[in-house]
Amino acid sequence: MSDTSQNTNPVTQFDELPDAPPKRKIKLSLPGKIGIGVVIFWAIIVIIGPTISPYHEADILDEELFIVPGSDEMYPDTDFQPPSKIVWLGSDYLGRDTLSRILFGARTTIGISLIATLLAYLIGVTLGIAAAVGSRFMDMALSRVNDALLAIPSIMFALVVIAALNSPTIPWLILITGIIYACSVFRIARSLGQEVMVSDFVEAARVRGEGLWWIITREILPNIAMPLATDFGLRFVWIILFISSLSFLGLGVQPPASDWGSMVKENLPGLVYGSFAPLIPALAIATLTISINMIVDDISAHSGGKLAKRMIS
């Protein structure tokens, strides 16, 4: 984390100096590149998914669609059908098109997770920096409350709150998840912030007479941005998994809205008949989470590289 690269103007002239820090170029490995491709793919689906989907997410398909031409069967089964020309990825337990539900569900699942992650970051980083720059008392108070909240397994926390609410709505879901994950963001932001606060350049800024706000926005935030960005990726993955798990338990997104986690749950009975309906949404989640982890892995592999690690191999 070089602090020279933060001020935009002088960077060019410092670059020519002999002791200029090496330019950080992130070269991605093959899994990392594939990861970026997949993430972009899902991002596009989030935007245009509902427009390109063949049916509506709640449409229960007509039996007529499934009649094989030439056969005299009047009432064919429509649920848990294997992939065909009518339903590209098969149909679900009510005879709805799995592909359409995946396309609609992308918006629900990814959207909710993204908003929850942003909320967690908003709360966590604000309070974390407040604890890092604030008085000792404030730091103590915030940290103790945070430790207590972290001592509850996140799924338990959510279960207790959801039990108390009569029916979990999406804003509540986002709020609960945001608060739960804000705790771990707080810890990271606080420790990163404290590290920067004791550095020489912050001391220099203070001596220069800069205000607290200036130090926070010009010194602390730029310096903790990169580690936090990596952490954001991981946190986003955990939140997707967390929200999907809640939906899977029937306590997250409620029907008829399609959400990948609840799609797995509602189609679970089809597993016995060998239907892939529960597997497809689970795989959709997996492609997204694995890709993000691959990218994060690639980036963090670059910041390592000690002598022994290289020599021992």
Helices (H) then strands (E): counts for the chain: 12, 0
Applying CB under 8 A, which of residues 98, 184, 244, 258 lies at the interface with another protein?
244
Considering beta carbons, is residue 157 or 181 the nearer one to another protein? 157
Closest contact distance (angstroms) between CB of 61 and another protein is 24
Burial 208-229 (b: 16+ CB within 10 A, else e): eeeeeeebbeebbbebbeebbe
Considering beta carbons, is residue 198 or 307 the nearer one to another protein? 307
In the shown chain, the binding pattern of residues 124 to 163 toward another protein, with x for contact by CB under 8 A and - for none, equals -----------------------xxx-xxxxxxx-xxxxx
Applying CB under 8 A, which of residues 126, 245, 255, 257 lies at the interface with another protein?
245
Considering beta carbons, is residue 71 or 313 the nearer one to another protein? 313
Phi, psi of 67 (to 5 degrees): -70, 125
**Does position 297 bind another protein by CB under 8 A?**
yes
Q: CB 288: neighbour CB atoms within 10 A? A: 25
**DSSP per-residue letters across 232-283:** HHHHHHHHHHHHHHHHHTTSSSPTTS--HHHHHHHTGGGGGGT-STTHHHHH
Question: What tokens were used for 264?
Answer: 């797995």
230 and 299 Cβ atoms separated by less than 8 Å: yes
Considering beta carbons, is residue 66 or 242 the nearer one to another protein? 242
**Does position 289 bind another protein by CB under 8 A?**
yes
Q: Which residues bind another protein (CB under 8 A)?
A: 31, 147-149, 151-157, 159-166, 237, 241, 244-245, 248-251, 261, 264, 268, 271-272, 274, 278-279, 282-283, 285-286, 289-290, 292-294, 297, 306-309, 311-313
